């Protein structure tokens, strides 16, 4: 058996923690005694339990729709061999180059609606729910699932509906019907009525430009909101309602809400910091220099020990690639949030009253960034700590420097490595170099 708890309950004929398991263990023992037999359970690690777990470990590729190979070959022979497949994933693409709707490690791009389709000989076989947007974006004839002889009104475009679009986005994200029901039930009638108008305006704006309302770039959202304020003379509170409605509809577990920055991911990677260490950053203990910033964690953290200096988070500048320079990003974030910050913590919530955030919020932001990068959901926010240190070690950074950067040490480590002078920025720069390559 690969469950140590079950092994203990069978061998000891019960236990004290689970009454149901105790009754089951006694029933097994009584059955064996009536048969004149006995049973001794032994633990088998899951990695060795190959035969029993074979079915659950197989990759199931029958979870997505796919065009039959014979049908695709017939289409390619009659028209042309496509160069790219626009609406697929790594499980059902027909040609080597493909575009996925959501982050996919093998895709050449994400969200076909953001691309210019005329640059390739494309194969377009979208889900039925996207057919309306495909027909509006492309200037071509399309084969649709409408039955012969049906009324032309069958292709009439339905008016935008906020809740219907959100339901379709949940379905496309792979949520179960039960999960979708719970998520939609959390919307009150007043919220549905309040956001229907803004969502209809946003959806119509996107449709006129060939964009998908659920996956349009944040820059497009800002262009839309700017038009409301400048061209339509909407008040700021009205624009805020539109922004909140769009954010609520777009935030279905695949992308973070509008207003959230991936700054925490840079902090987690370059400093190999835990989520609660990022939370404990204090602007009053920040030492700013020309080429580096350094935070001293004054409050108690896990690494605190008697006689040991406080944990420091060292952030060097990275002029090689300013786009992923943690100082440049953090400085821009502090500047934009200066008027709303009411705490000494650099990271604040992006919703009113813009207060301090929790460790769980930091972890959730990091997980969202990982998912957007195509990282498997089995990895957590704490995985960045091992990922960055492993990356630095693979790049040849000495182990001593890594241990100092992340404050990993024993008494012997303190004596041998802590006070040894070195270039403290090597750790973070090495991590960023591996990210840039």
Q: Domains (ranges, CATH) in the chain?
A: 3-57 (no CATH), 69-136 (no CATH), 162-249 (1.10.150), 262-381 (1.10.443.10)
Residues 6+ apart with CB under 8 A from 47: none
Q: Exposed, middle or buried: residue 61 (CB in 10 Å: 0-12, 13-18, 19+)?
A: exposed
**CA–CA distance, 303 with 306 (Å, rounded to integer):** 10
**CA–CA distance, 137 with 212 (Å, rounded to integer):** 10
Q: What is the model's pLDDT at position 291? A: 85
Instruction: Give the residues across from 313 on adjacent strands.
Output: 295
Q: Which bin fits 407, alpha (ψ -120 to 50), beta or left (φ > 0)?
A: left
- Under DSSP, is residue 16 helix (H, G, I), strand (E, B) or coil? coil
Q: Is 97:82 a contact under the CB 8 Å cutoff?
A: no
Exposure b/e, 335-368, CB count within 10 A at least 16 = b: eeeeeebeeebbbbebeeeeeebeeebbbbbbbb
**CA–CA distance, 282 with 292 (Å, rounded to integer):** 16
231-236, Cβ contacts within 8 angstroms, sequence gap of 24 or more: none
Instruction: Give the residues across from 348 on adjacent strands.
Output: 356
Residue in the block written with tokens 């909140």? 244
pLDDT tens digits in sequence order for the chain, 437 residues long? 678 888 888 888 888 788 888 888 888 888 888 888 878 888 777 667 667 666 666 655 556 777 888 888 877 777 778 888 988 888 888 888 889 888 888 888 888 888 888 777 788 888 877 887 887 776 454 444 434 444 433 334 456 677 877 777 777 666 778 878 887 887 788 888 888 888 888 888 887 776 777 767 778 888 899 998 888 888 888 888 888 888 776 655 444 444 444 788 888 888 877 787 888 888 888 888 888 888 887 766 665 566 667 778 888 888 888 878 888 888 888 888 888 888 888 888 877 777 888 888 888 888 877 776 667 777 777 777 777 777 777 777 777 777 777 776 553 543 443 334 445 555 666 666 666 65
Neighbours of 114 (CB within 10 A): 15
Compute the residue count for the chain: 437
Q: Exposed, middle or buried: residue 119 (CB in 10 Å: 0-12, 13-18, 19+)?
A: exposed
C-alpha dihedral, 29 to 35 to 38 to 39, nearest 10°: -60
| CA gyration radius, the chain | 28
The overall longest dimension of the chain from CA atoms, in Å, is 88
Q: What is the model's pLDDT at position 419? A: 37
Q: What is the model's pLDDT at position 212? A: 72
Structure-token pair, residue 8: 């203990």
Q: What is the model's pLDDT at position 57? A: 60
Structure-token pair, residue 194: 């309040």
């Amino acid at each position: 058996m690969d469950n140590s708890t079950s092994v203990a309950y069978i061998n000891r004929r019960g236990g004290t923690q689970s009454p149901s398991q105790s009754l089951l263990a006694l029933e097994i023992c009584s059955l064996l005694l009536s048969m004149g037999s006995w049973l001794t359970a032994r633990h088998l690690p899951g990695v060795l339990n190959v035969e029993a777990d074979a079915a659950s470990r197989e990759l199931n590729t029958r979870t997505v729709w796919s065009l039959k190979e014979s049908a695709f070959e017939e289409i390619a022979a009659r028209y042309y061999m496509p160069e790219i497949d626009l609406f697929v994933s790594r499980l059902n693409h027909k040609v080597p180059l493909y575009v996925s709707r959501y982050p996919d490690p093998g895709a050449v791009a994400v969200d076909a609606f953001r691309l210019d389709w005329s640059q390739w000989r494309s194969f377009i076989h979208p889900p039925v729910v996207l057919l309306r947007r495909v027909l509006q974006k492309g200037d071509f004839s399309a084969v649709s699932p409408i039955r012969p002889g049906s009324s032309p009104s069958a292709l009439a475009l339905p008016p935008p509906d906020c809740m219907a679009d959100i339901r379709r986005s949940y379905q496309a994200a792979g949520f179960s019907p039960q999960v979708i029901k719970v998520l939609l039930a959390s919307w009150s009638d007043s919220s549905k009525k309040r956001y229907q108008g803004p969502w209809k305006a946003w959806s119509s704006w996107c449709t006129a430009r060939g964009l998908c309302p659920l996956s349009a770039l944040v820059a497009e959202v800002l262009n839309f909101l700017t038009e409301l304020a400048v061209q339509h003379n909407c008040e700021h509170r009205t624009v805020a309602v539109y922004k909140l409605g769009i954010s609520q509809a777009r935030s279905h577990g695949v992308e973070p809400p509008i207003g959230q920055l991936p700054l925490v991911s840079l902090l987690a990677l370059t400093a190999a910091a835990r989520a609660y260490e990022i939370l404990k950053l204090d602007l009053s203990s920040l030492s700013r220099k020309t080429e580096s910033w350094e935070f001293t964690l004054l409050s108690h953290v896990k690494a605190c020990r008697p006689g040991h200096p406080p944990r420091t988070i060292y952030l060097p500048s990275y002029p090689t690639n300013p786009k992923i320079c943690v100082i440049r990003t953090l400085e821009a974030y502090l500047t934009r949030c200066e008027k709303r910050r009411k705490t000494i913590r650099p990271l604040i919530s992006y919703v009113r009253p813009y207060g301090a955030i929790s460790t769980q919020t930091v972890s959730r932001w990091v997980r969202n960034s990982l998912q957007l990068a195509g990282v498997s959901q089995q990895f957590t926010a704490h995985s960045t700590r091992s990922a960055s240190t492993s990356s630095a070690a693979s790049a040849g950074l000495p182990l001593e420097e890594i241990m100092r950067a992340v404050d990993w040490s024993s008494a012997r480590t303190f004596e041998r490595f802590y006070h040894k002078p070195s270039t403290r920025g090597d750790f973070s720069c090495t991590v960023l170099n591996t990210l840039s390559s």
